[in-house]
Copies of this chain bind each other. A is one copy, B any other.
Amino acid sequence: MNSEFFVDWSTQALARVEAALQVWVPMQAPAGLGEAMRYGVLDGGKRLRALLVQAAAEAAAATDTSAGRDAALRAACAVELIHAYSLVHDDMPCMDNDVLRRGKPTVHIKFGEAQAMLAGDAMQALAFEVLTPDQGVCAPTQARLCRLLARAAGQAGMAGGQAIDLASVGVTLDEAALRDMHHRKTGALLCASVQMGAACADIDETGPTWQAFTDYGEAVGLAFQVVDDILDATQASSTLGKTAGKDADANKPTYVSLLGLDRARHEAQSLLAQAHAALSRSGLPAQRTRALASLAECIVHRDY
């Protein structure tokens, strides 16, 4: 999976995203807000969502034009801003009460709860601001990217999944209910990342190519969570850069608690196969979908 191609590709894609976030997340936001926002989003995490956007944009040939590249870079930063804001809020005392994130103090520990809440709020707004520049990206693409992102972030997506998660402590969820929760909580934004990349190339939403991107996005979205639960049950906190075993300790259902470790691992492999099958069905040349294929491998075979 870590082919020379993918190492080069992801290094370049990450560098573009980090450089763009450095510019777009403003240092000069007032009264320490910019510092808190930057702390929450810069230099952090695997940037999986940004890589999915970029890989899907390349697969769909969006990156063949300067406007498409600009749109894909903006979409990549926007999904990272949404993801980062959700972590900032999720870590707060009234939610998961986490003090450690990626090995560093969480935003509310470093800047206080009020500033953390505001920074998260401002990061969500900034995501939509980044998607709607005065020029460079055509208006229909801007509107479509905002639509996809808003739906994935809101009550039917990420925020709704978090509400189910909140309500699920100590509750017995069956596999369908657990799947629904994760489909919203993490799957929606991961799938939207793929769709937003495809939207940068103006792929028609009623056609088979769009459906293939969506199927791929849903498979990797769910696989991500299954693997997260496996890692949470099997790895040390020091490897993960966050507190391991928290969900089990909080009596929250996970794929591992529900299926057992073996079946959870089997499920992850099955979802990986579904992701590859979707890419085959896309009708796009394998050359173009290489980064998406590698990302699916990375998601399933990662160890942190």
Measured CB to CB, the nearest residue on chain B to A140 is B139
Measured CB to CB, the nearest residue on chain B to A155 is B29
Q: What is the minimal beta-carbon distance from A127 to any residue of chain B, in angstroms?
A: 8
Q: Does A261 contact B (CB under 8 A)?
A: no
B30, A164: Cβ atoms closer than 8 Å: yes
Q: What is the minimal beta-carbon distance from A204 to any residue of chain B, in angstroms?
A: 13
Q: Does A113 contact B (CB under 8 A)?
A: yes
Chain B residues near A33 (CB-CB < 8 A):
155, 159-160, 163
Chain B residues near A115 (CB-CB < 8 A):
163, 166
A163, B31: Cβ atoms closer than 8 Å: yes
Q: Does A32 contact B (CB under 8 A)?
A: yes
Interface residues of A in 2-46 (CB under 8 A from B): 26, 29-34, 37
Given A33-B155, A139-B139, A139-B140, check contact A166 B125 (CB 8 Å).
no
A128, B146: Cβ atoms closer than 8 Å: yes
Q: Does A245 contact B (CB under 8 A)?
A: no
Q: Which of A89-97, A274-282, A286-294 contacts B (4 or more CB under 8 A)?
A: A89-97
A167, B132: Cβ atoms closer than 8 Å: no
Query: Given B34, B129, B163, which contacts A118 in the complex, CB threshold below 8 Å?
Result: B163
Measured CB to CB, the nearest residue on chain B to A162 is B118
Chain B residues near A117 (CB-CB < 8 A):
89, 92, 94-95, 117
B89, A113: Cβ atoms closer than 8 Å: no
User: How many chain copies does the complex carry?
Assistant: 2
Chain B residues near A118 (CB-CB < 8 A):
89, 159, 162-163, 166
Chain B residues near A236 (CB-CB < 8 A):
none
Q: How far is the CA of A103 from the CA of B166 in the complex (A)?
A: 28
Q: What is the minimal beta-carbon distance from A195 to any residue of chain B, in angstroms?
A: 14
Q: How far is the CA of A159 from the CA of B121 in the complex (A)?
A: 7
* Per-position 1/0 for A121-140, Cβ under 8 A of B: 11011111101111000011
Chain B residues near A155 (CB-CB < 8 A):
26, 29-30, 33-34, 37, 122, 125-126
Given A131-B146, A132-B146, check contact A167 B31 (CB 8 Å).
yes
Chain B residues near A37 (CB-CB < 8 A):
155
Can you add 14 more A-B contacts, CB < 8 Å, to A33-B159, A92-B117, A129-B147? A30-B160, A31-B164, A31-B166, A32-B167, A95-B114, A115-B163, A115-B166, A118-B163, A120-B121, A121-B121, A126-B150, A127-B150, A131-B146, A132-B144
Residue pairs across A and B with Cβ atoms less than 8 A apart, 5 shown, are A125-B154, A126-B155, A129-B150, A131-B146, A139-B144
The 6 closest A-B pairs by CB, nearest first: A125-B154, A94-B113, A132-B147, A29-B155, A122-B159, A33-B163
